[in-house]
Amino acid sequence: MGSVHPTNRDQISRSLKDLSNESIRNRFLGSKKEFSATELEYLSNLDGTDHYAIGIEEREKSFRGIAIARMVRSASDSAEAEIAITIIDDYQSIGLGTILMRMIVLAASERSIRQLSFTFLPQNEGIIKLINKIGPVTKGTSAMDYVQYFIDLQKVNLQEIKYQLAPYLPSIDTFHSKT
């Protein structure tokens, strides 16, 4: 587990093959067979402040990328960031989404983000459950093909999130959250 770097480009590219059509549709709001070179550059070459991602890989020889949580600061509001989480099918529904969501929330807070936004398909019940675990949700735009939710980080108990992550990250106090 760690920050995503350009060296993860091939893992990101290969991980698309480990997602079902439904998982791809839920994450990318449509179909996708492969990433373009431009998309791979965007997904793997991050500045760590306005665009940050945490990835998890298998610990066996293949080091297959299995999950990623991404935060992208809004160009129109520097205190807001869009959050996206992708977990390959073999590892869904075992708690990785909850861990990654909590970690990306702390990372966003460290970067002075005050509001998180999530855009997803209306039928994506998994992300709705995950978002609701973090804190109070404000529903935004709702259309036939997408829904938008927001979380105000000032209403989220970041200390509780750190406590919940402690069993997985013994050095959680090293986060430099401002709250």
In a domain, 102, yes or no: yes
In whole numbers, what is the pLDDT of the chain averaged over residues? 88
In this prediction, residue 70 carries a pLDDT of 95
In a domain, 179, yes or no: no
In which domain, by residue range, is 90 found? Answer: 2-174
* pLDDT, average across residues 146-158: 95
Cα 108 from Cα 118, distance rounded (Å): 13
- Angle subtended by helix axes 158-165 and 96-110, to nearest 10: 130
Helix, strand, coil: what percent of the chain each, to 5? Answer: 40, 25, 35
Beta strands in the chain (DSSP E): 2-3, 51-57, 65-73, 80-87, 115-120, 137-142, 147-152
Domains in the chain: how many in total?
Answer: 1
In a domain, 19, yes or no: yes
In this prediction, residue 178 carries a pLDDT of 38
For position 26, which CATH number holds? 3.40.630.30
Helix (H, G, I), strand (E, B) or coil at 151: strand
61-81 pLDDT per residue, tens: 677 888 999 999 999 999 999
94-150 pLDDT per residue, tens: 999 999 999 999 999 999 999 999 999 888 989 999 999 999 999 998 888 899 999
- For the ranges 39-53, 78-92, 158-172, which has the lowest average pLDDT? 158-172
pLDDT band at residue 177 using 50, 70 and 90 as cut-offs: very low
In a domain, 45, yes or no: yes
Is the pLDDT at 176 greater than 50? The verdict is no
**Predicted structure pTM score:** 0.86
Is the pLDDT at 52 greater than 70? The verdict is yes
Cα 96 from Cα 76, distance rounded (Å): 31
